[in-house]
Amino acid sequence: MRNRSRRAALLGGIAVVSLAATACSESADTTATGGGEGSAAVEGLSGTTGTLSAEGASSQQKAMDLFGTVYQQQVPGTQFNYTASGSGSGQKQFIAGQVAFGGSDSPLSDEQVPEAAKRCGGNEAWHLPLVIGPVAVAYHLEGVSDDIVLSPEVIAKIFSGKISSWNDPAIAELNDGVDLPDTSINVVYRSEESGTSDNFQKFLKASAPGEWDTTGKSFPSATGAGANGSNGVVTEVSKTDGGITYVEAGFATEQGLNIAQINFGEGAVELNDKSVGKALDNLSYKTEGHNMVVDSTKLFEMKKEGAYPLVLTTYEIVCSAGYDEETSKMVKDFLHVALNTQNERLEKQGYIPVSGDYANKLQDAVDAIQ
């Protein structure tokens, strides 16, 4: 029986996932990973004060709020501002030099890379995948206590409008024994440019190529209704019977929404620590060195038993060099604090703390910023 009373347990389980699952060492550097409920002082901070501004993905907002609080505690006199305007805006504001770094659920496009280098004084912009979180297909369906199972193909048909009722035969086939109501499916998508939209569409294209062929930060508006930000989509779904959306797991949990199990091709998979860990075991990169762009296509097309590959590896896009001296020191201080806050406090916000070799790779990149 797939009872939705398990939701709290499985979502709580997400919090204890660690990127140790990506073949990282159990003996992670404690400076890089943090530890315990509190946040120990970070050694080697410059202590440079001032205002540090960043902008971008709303999927990172809870993490950035936490990192910012700890940063301001550890470097008194600083002010950290993060505007959760979406990945597209974050990338544009970073390239325009309006913020010190951009938060993004997807990497810069090929066209944006030289623009970012120009903003960085001719130096490469690096993608640091610092905030990791699974994406839920979250829904609100009154009168159904079982967890609904969906497949990538069915999800694609729902979000394209080909499937418009919860008792559609394609859904019923995946949910034998579940009494599905004749309730209209109400799709809610991100109305602004969003890296979550970009990644969700990349996932659909990779995992259901016959049903989805578009990608991009803007979600097609032919089906459903848009809402702004991660908070916006979960709020709309929570008050709409039959509502469904794609959103970072922490936001779905906070609103108490149901989370679909997904059959990626090897049986229904719950979104939990074990299933996310199996997917992260296969993480690979499209780039080398300190520029850490994840190969999302390989991740999203995964069909391994028990693996949940619908995972966001969200970036801080930074200049490798080219900042003024004060900004460089503040960016490095903030990122060092963020790496030191990969602990239980971050877990409680629905993210996956980084650790081991992966955290050390990020630490090396931060150290190398000039």
**DSSP sequence for 10-23:** HHHHHTT--GGGGT
Residues with Cβ within 8 Å of 17's Cβ and at least 6 positions away in sequence, in order, are 273, 276, 277, 280, 352
Residue from 136, 106, 108, 138 nearest 120 by CA? 108
Residue 232, Cβ neighbours under 10 Å: how many? Answer: 19
Confidence of residue 7 (pLDDT cuts 50, 70, 90): very low
Mean pLDDT of the 264-269 span? 96
Whether the pLDDT of residue 112 is over 90: the answer is: yes
Residues 354 and 164 sit within 8 Å (Cβ to Cβ)? no
Task: List pLDDT tens digits, range 33-61.
Answer: 333 345 678 888 999 999 999 999 988 99
Higher-pLDDT residue of 288 and 208 is: 208
Whether the pLDDT of residue 97 is over 70: the answer is: yes
Mean pLDDT of the 214-231 span? 93
Higher-pLDDT residue of 167 and 6 is: 167
Mean pLDDT of the 297-301 span? 92
Report the alpha-carbon distance of residue 277 to residue 281 in Å, rounded: 6
Model pLDDT, residue 39: 62
Higher-pLDDT residue of 40 and 120 is: 120
3-state secondary structure of 167: coil
Model pLDDT, residue 359: 87
Positive or negative, the CA dihedral 96, 99, 101, 103 is: negative
Model pLDDT, residue 356: 76
Element containing residue 101 per DSSP (H, E): strand 101-104
SS (H, E, C) 211-271: CCCCCCCCCCCCCCEEECHHHHHHHHHHCCCCEEEEEEHHHHHHHCCEECEEECCCCEECC
Report the alpha-carbon distance of residue 82 to residue 53 in Å, rounded: 6
State the number of CA atoms in the 13 A half-sphere of 273 facing the CB: 17
User: Which of the residue ranges 172-181, 249-258, 327-336 would you say has the lowest mean pLDDT?
Assistant: 249-258
Task: List pLDDT tens digits, range 81-92.
Answer: 999 998 999 999
CATH 3.40.190.10: which residues of the chain? 17-133+286-294+314-368, 134-276
Exposure b/e, 278-294, CB count within 10 A at least 16 = b: bbbebbebeeeebbbbb
Residues 113 and 125 sit within 8 Å (Cβ to Cβ)? yes
Model pLDDT, residue 223: 96
SS (H, E, C) 114-149: HHHHHHCCCCCEEEEEEEEEEEEEEEECCCCCECCE
Report the alpha-carbon distance of residue 353 to residue 46 in Å, rounded: 24
3-state secondary structure of 164: coil
Exposure b/e, 296-310, CB count within 10 A at least 16 = b: beebbbbebeebbbb
φ and ψ of 273, to 5 deg: -60, -45
Identify the CATH homologous superfamily for domain 134-276: Periplasmic binding protein-like II (3.40.190.10)
Residues 221 and 213 sit within 8 Å (Cβ to Cβ)? no
The CATH code for residues 17-133+286-294+314-368 is 3.40.190.10
pTM over cut 0.85: no
Q: pLDDT > 70: what percent of the chain?
A: 89
Higher-pLDDT residue of 7 and 108 is: 108
Higher-pLDDT residue of 191 and 7 is: 191
Report the alpha-carbon distance of residue 270 to residue 235 in Å, rounded: 23
Residues 202 and 209 sit within 8 Å (Cβ to Cβ)? no
User: Which of the residue ranges 52-56, 74-78, 99-103, 349-353 would you say has the lowest mean pLDDT?
Assistant: 349-353
Whether the pLDDT of residue 2 is over 80: the answer is: no
Which letter does DSSP use for residue 5 in this model?
G
Confidence of residue 351 (pLDDT cuts 50, 70, 90): confident
Whether the pLDDT of residue 312 is over 60: the answer is: yes
Model pLDDT, residue 250: 84
Question: Mean pLDDT highest for which of 196-200, 241-245, 303-307?
Answer: 241-245
Confidence of residue 80 (pLDDT cuts 50, 70, 90): very high
Confidence of residue 272 (pLDDT cuts 50, 70, 90): confident
Residues 71 and 334 sit within 8 Å (Cβ to Cβ)? yes
Whether the pLDDT of residue 1 is over 50: the answer is: no
Start-to-end CA distance of the chain, whole Å, equals 55
Report the alpha-carbon distance of residue 150 to residue 57 in Å, rounded: 26
Whether the pLDDT of residue 19 is over 50: the answer is: no
Residue type, 188: V
Task: List pLDDT tens digits, range 126-144.
Answer: 999 999 888 999 999 999 9
